Structure 1
Amino acid sequence: MRFAYPVGFIGWKFFARLGLPLRVRVFVMYDDEAKVFVATSDDFLPEFGLTVESDTWDGIFKEIRIALEEAEEICLGKTDDKVRLDPVLRPIHQLS
């Protein structure tokens, strides 16, 4: 396991600009009623709230990547390819 600095912790934007890998916690659940996977993260709050959905497992990964690119631009401004956001997926179970 390699080190990645958590997004949302003090100084995360500074470390991002230095090129240190960043860890983003993304919670994923399956909504039985809507028949979609839903992924959320509040690590970027208050600047950016990440919520995406897709009807396939592969699709949710693509949606997460797109949302992370948007979060990078909103929270850090236009950056070079040095910033690396690594999502850590955490499954959550829907309560009945």
Structure 2
Amino acid sequence: MESYRRFNQQELFMSLKRDLAMITQQVYVAEGLNKDSWVKAQAATQSRLEAEASLGRLKEEHSKMSEELKEVKYLQIAKKSKTDNPYRWVRYVTQANSYVARL
């Protein structure tokens, strides 16, 4: 405060005006950065919501397919050929309450 007493009124006014302009510029830049960060956060949130919705649909589809696979009792080869050996593709035969299909 003591340093300001040495200024005359015109110098003090100009000094305060420069300081105010500098602070205003810094606030403007900070607001811009804040807005950019907010937009990025909103985009990330939207992306996450879409991913969670897709995951939910996949889980639902998986459960439906699992139920359908449980209903399969017999597999039949539609077109038999001498070169095809269907038993080659059968890994093991078991009886179970649940089935896992691996493709």
TM range (shorter): under 0.3
Considering fraction of residues, name the structure with more strand.
Answer: 1
Q: Which has the higher contact order (CA 8 A, sep 6+)?
A: 1
Considering fraction of residues, name the structure with more helix.
Answer: 2
Q: Provide the TM-score with structure 1 as the length reference.
A: 0.26
